[in-house]
Amino acid sequence: RILHKILVGRWSRSHSFADLQVAFQKRDGCCEASEILQAVLRRAHEKTRGLAAAFVDISKAFDTVATSTIVRNAVAQGLPPPLVEYISHMYGTSSVLIEQETVRPGRGVRQGDPLSPLLFLSVMDEMLKSSLPEVGFDQGGRLVDALAYADDLVLFAEDESRLRDKLEALNSALQAAGMSLNASKSCTLTIVPDGKRKRVILAPTQYSVGDTRLRTLDVEDRVKYLGLEFNWKGKVRVRHTGILEKYLIEVTRAPLKPYQRLNVLKQHLVPKLLHQLVLGAAHRNTLASMDKMIRQFVRGWLRLPTDVPVAYLYAKISDGGLGLLCLATLVPLAQRKRTEKVASSSAATAVLFKDTPCFKQFVARANMGIRIGGEAVCSKEEASQAWSEQLWKSHDGKALRGESVDPISHDWVRDPTRLPGKVFLRGIKLRGGLLPTRTRASRGGRTPAHGVMCKGGCGHPESIDHILQSCQLTHDVRCERHNRALRKINKVLSKKCEKVW
């Protein structure tokens, strides 16, 4: 693997692939590919242009490509003869022992090998060159014949007859390479201009590959490309609030402990939605609604009061919070970073979309101001610091500011596996100053039935600090806590020191 990583680095610096092949390279391929597809679809509508497109799925492409095709394309890439010979020997002599029987694979690229992505891209380059690259769609003065993210292909033409020719050429090239087109997962769309009415029409044109018909998109149909949903007009606004609510209900009904639900939310559920939220068409109001829904469920899981400070949920664990992800700040910042990267890219593909109205609208939406508690933030670091400051300014969280606090003091929040569920819930409330006291019950002009003075007759308001540190009712418990801590320290030091006093 070390040798192959070195070879990949040298290959990447000295050889390049087709401009519209955006996978496995040092570029934001998902963002580029999705914006190119969006730009092409929108241009067909805005300029009243004809467009025929085919979303092509290749059956088990990485597993079925012939070894001879891999070696042939390594030569076509201009690799040095010793490297080509090494690749040929590696694929020609590899074997697998299955139940005392030696099997020599003759197809597919090696899984987990650093060389495999580039070898596969070289094969796909041949497929793109064989599918009539001179036929395509005029996008701002440049011909876009195909869009490729590894084996996820989209073929473009200006009318149905030329798209049929491209599909036949691609199918022939795939068969020659040992691969095949998966007609059941492929689909097509045909946009026909209506010059008199200055509009375009989605025509129900049928396409076939061999004896198999490809699915034709209707006006209500959607196709998923790189995790994003498109229809014949472009990106589709997905009801992320409904999807999120479904996930949260499933997590709530699952037989999980409160901290396990919290981990599922932070490590799996929210990251699963981020790709669509960042590159899709999620509105700021949608993000705010999703944040509100998450807070509502988290309060239920942890049995927190409804007036818990929002900053307590979003501040970092090391700053006293719970470390939840705020979509209203995280998603726009991620959009801003990715749009800036592709807009400033020197890649030829960036020209295809960065001056289009749809991309400018995307950039404008990403660059809208982001505020946390009235303070503008421009980076993830600033957002994190702003949430912490908001927490420390709150009455419940002001005691959490502590520059000298040892980081290990927060480990029980990150990994509470050794704590009983009830103890964890009480600890979260205690950490945030959320335990019910007479002082807390008097907020907002409310007047507790028994006043705010301590029920122990101490003559002080009943607050958490008073109960923990000076109340006469908790004196014996405080002393016992102190003695337990001393005994624990004594036990640990006695194993390392001769004498402890």
Task: Say if 83 falls within a structural domain.
Answer: yes
Q: Are residues 86 and 218 in the same domain?
A: yes
Q: Please tell me the total count of domains within the chain.
A: 3
Q: Are residues 258 and 383 in the same domain?
A: yes
Question: Which pLDDT does position 102 carry in this prediction?
Answer: 86
Closest listed residue to residue 174, CA positions, set 60, 325, 11: 60
Q: Are residues 202 and 117 in the same domain?
A: yes
Q: Of 212, 235, 258, which one is at a domain's C-terminal end? A: 235
Question: Which pLDDT does position 349 carry in this prediction?
Answer: 84
Q: Are residues 217 and 251 in the same domain?
A: no
Q: Are residues 180 and 270 in the same domain?
A: no
Q: What proportions of the chain, in percent to the nearest 5, are helix, strand and coil?
A: 50, 15, 35
For residue 457, the Cα-to-chain-centroid distance in whole angstroms is: 55
* Other Cβ atoms closer than 10 A to 346: 6
Task: Say if 414 falls within a structural domain.
Answer: no
pTM: 0.86
Q: Are residues 276 and 135 in the same domain?
A: no
Closest listed residue to residue 131, CA positions, set 164, 160, 99, 103: 164
Task: Say if 303 falls within a structural domain.
Answer: yes
Residue 228: is it exposed, middle or buried by C-beta count within 10 angstroms (0-12/13-18/19+)?
buried
- Distance, in Å, from the CA atom of 369 to the CA atom of 377, rounded to the nearest integer, reads 8
Please list the residues that pair with 193 across neighbouring strands. 200
Closest listed residue to residue 481, CA positions, set 499, 472, 463, 469: 469
- Residue-by-residue pLDDT tens, the chain, 501 positions: 899 999 888 888 877 888 888 888 888 889 999 999 999 999 999 999 999 999 999 999 999 999 999 999 999 988 999 999 999 999 888 888 888 888 888 888 988 899 999 999 999 999 999 999 999 999 988 999 999 999 899 999 999 999 999 999 999 999 999 999 998 899 999 999 987 788 999 999 999 988 889 999 999 999 999 999 999 999 998 889 999 999 999 999 999 999 999 999 999 999 999 999 999 878 899 999 999 999 999 999 999 999 899 999 999 999 999 999 999 999 999 999 999 988 888 777 888 898 899 999 999 999 999 999 888 999 999 999 999 999 999 888 888 887 667 788 889 999 999 899 899 999 999 999 898 888 888 877 777 667 888 888 888 888 888 888 888 888 899 999 999 999 999 999 998 888 887
Task: Say if 430 falls within a structural domain.
Answer: no
CB 137 within 8 A of CB 158: yes
Question: Which pLDDT does position 197 carry in this prediction?
Answer: 83
Residue 98: which domain range?
2-235
Q: Which residues contact 30 (CB under 8 A, 6 or more apart)?
A: 22, 149, 226, 227, 275, 279
Question: Which pLDDT does position 25 carry in this prediction?
Answer: 85
Q: What is the DSSP string of 193-254?
A: EETTTTEEEEE---EEETTEEEEEP-TT--EEETTEEEETTEE----HHHHHHHHHHHHHHS
SS3 state at 480: helix
Task: Say if 355 falls within a structural domain.
Answer: yes
Q: Are residues 359 and 496 in the same domain?
A: no
Q: Are residues 291 and 358 in the same domain?
A: yes
- Distance, in Å, from the CA atom of 137 to the CA atom of 282, rounded to the nearest integer, reads 28
Closest listed residue to residue 302, CA positions, set 428, 440, 441: 428
Q: Are residues 244 and 231 in the same domain?
A: no
Question: Which pLDDT does position 308 carry in this prediction?
Answer: 92
DSSP 109: P
Please list the residues that pair with 453 across neighbouring strands. 461
Q: Are residues 95 and 191 in the same domain?
A: yes
Question: Which pLDDT does position 422 carry in this prediction?
Answer: 92
**Radius of gyration of the chain from Cα atoms?**
31
